[in-house]
């Protein structure tokens, strides 16, 4: 049985999520505290930091890590509005979708200098496979790279300030100390930045991948970080963050949405850049009983746009569907670079499925519908 937050629809199986004595999760509490925040003061603090980092044409003012998604498009728009000259840096996704490429091109046309870094695809495919089969996360290399590569760019181009978007611990739930942290530290990355128990050093010792192939997944040395004075800040700490309004602003600036609601999600304006995301999100469902539709529904429940009951219906209908396609690409084609068949994939899925939270038959086997979809034992607390 899953226990859900009484205010949103997040189950307490989510790592780092806690329900308090009233049954309300820390992400809902964190959102509630936003009313107390003095946003005018925070904005002044931001302007002050940006002013101190202005290079007046001698170098770029800051690095903005961009995926081409709605949030990074919004970040770039805000930086340009404030008169900054950012260097935008993309660490490419593992299987970039056509619409993701269009949105990267759109972002460049906003009027910025832009660098794209693509780690070795042969090594990356190996890491996707290791991530999927060993820790149940196909996106391990991507989620490490989105943190390490902008920091490498900061050192390489000697631009100390890195502007990140939302601190995922703020609204998606995490320890209080992490949510209050507005500066990205090595410790934060190691704890929450998607490492999931698989360390870069393990890849050499256990899987025999030579260290020279792992440079994109590692930080520069402490000495280099200090020489440049690398500083990261989360824009969401200074400006109230909302995915939907970011999407609206991005769309008004040329950002393209998908032609329908994204598979396993409930909206068409995010998760548009990587065909592997469907697999990543599906494994969250297998392990913890929630996936992308739950994430998005919770954000909208907190903002009063849909009721909790609406969210439960949406989650039942859309969350955690078997990922036969992602952004219209068939599963077998997505698995091809990993040298994995759909049958083999299903075996890996079953291995990572938390059997306690899904319906099973009298022999204990998971009940799947004809499309391979599982049903949770409970979608609410009763």
- Residues forming contacts to Zn ion in the complex (CB under 5 A) are 5, 7-8, 25, 28
CA-to-CA distance for 145 and 257, rounded, in angstroms?
Answer: 25
108 to 73, 101, 255, 337: CA distances (angstroms): 9, 11, 11, 29
**Residue 312 CB, nearest approach to Zn ion (Å):** 13
Kindly tell me which of 7 and 287 has the beta carbon lying closer to Zn ion: 7
Biggest distance spanned by C-alpha atoms of the chain? 71
21 or 210: CB nearest Zn ion: 21
Least Å distance, CB 54 to Zn ion, is 39
Cβ closest to Zn ion, residue 25 vs residue 315: 25
Q: DSSP string covering 182-206, please?
A: -B--HHHHHHHSS-TT--HHHHHHT
Tell me whether residue 31 or residue 322 sits nearer to Zn ion (CB atom). 31
Are 115 and 89 a contacting pair, CB within 8 Å? yes
How near is the Cβ of 172 to Zn ion at its closest, in Å? Answer: 10
28 vs 178, beta carbon nearer Zn ion: 28
Q: Are 225 and 162 within 8 A, CB to CB? A: no
Q: CA-CA distances (angstroms) from residue 372 to 320, 349, 367, 368?
A: 11, 11, 9, 5
Q: Which H helix or E strand runs over 232?
A: strand 231-234
At closest approach, how far in Å is the CB of 26 from Zn ion? 8
Report helix, strand or coil for 71.
helix
CA dist list (Å): 248 to 67, 78, 190, 306: 17, 14, 33, 18
Q: Which is nearer to Zn ion, 5 or 338 (CB)?
A: 5
**Residue 278 Cβ vs Zn ion, minimum distance, rounded to whole Å:** 25
Residue 34 phi/psi, 5-degree rounding, is: -60, -30
Shortest Å, Cβ 30 to Zn ion: 9
For Zn ion, the closer CB: 25 or 262: 25
CB of 28 to Zn ion, least distance (A): 3
């Amino acid at each position: 049985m899953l226990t859900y937050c009484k205010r949103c629809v997040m189950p307490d199986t989510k790592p780092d999520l806690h329900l308090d004595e009233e049954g309300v999760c820390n992400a809902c509490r964190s959102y509630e505290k936003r009313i107390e925040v003095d946003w005018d003061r925070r904005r002044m603090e931001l302007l002050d930091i940006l002013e101190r980092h202005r290079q007046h044409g001698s170098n770029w003012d800051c690095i903005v890590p961009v995926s081409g998604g709605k949030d990074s498009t919004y970040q770039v728009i805000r930086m340009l509005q404030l008169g900054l000259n950012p260097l935008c840096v993309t660490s490419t996704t593992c299987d970039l979708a056509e619409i993701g490429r269009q949105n990267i091109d759109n972002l460049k046309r906003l009027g910025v200098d832009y660098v794209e870094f693509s780690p070795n695809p042969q090594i990356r495919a190996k890491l996707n496979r290791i991530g999927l089969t060993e820790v149940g996360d196909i996106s391990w290399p991507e989620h490490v790279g989105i943190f390490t590569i902008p920091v490498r760019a900061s050192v390489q181009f000697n631009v100390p300030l890195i502007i990140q978007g939302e601190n995922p611990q703020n609204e998606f739930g995490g320890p209080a100390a992490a949510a209050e942290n507005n500066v990205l530290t090595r410790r934060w990355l190691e704890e929450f930045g998607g490492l999931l128990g698989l360390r870069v050093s393990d890849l050499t010792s256990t899987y025999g991948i030579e260290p020279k192939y792992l440079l994109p997944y590692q930080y520069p040395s402490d000495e280099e970080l200090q020489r440049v004075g690398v500083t990261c800040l989360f824009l969401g700490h200074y400006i109230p963050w909302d995915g939907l309004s970011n999407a609206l602003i991005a769309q008004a600036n040329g950002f393209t949405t998908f032609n329908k609601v994204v598979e396993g999600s409930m909206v068409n304006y995010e998760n548009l850049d990587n065909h592997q995301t469907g697999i990543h999100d599906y494994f969250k469902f297998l392990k913890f009983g929630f996936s992308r539709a739950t994430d998005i529904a919770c954000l909208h429940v907190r903002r009063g746009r849909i009721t909790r009951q609406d969210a439960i219906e949406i989650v039942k209908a859309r969350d955690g569907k078997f990922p036969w396609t992602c952004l219209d690409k068939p599963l077998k084609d997505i698995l091809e670079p990993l040298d994995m068949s759909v049958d083999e994939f299903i075996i890996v899925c079953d291995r990572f499925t938390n059997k306690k939270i899904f319906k099973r038959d009298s022999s204990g086997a998971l009940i799947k519908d004809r499309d391979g979809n599982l049903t949770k034992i409970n979608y609410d607390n009763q």
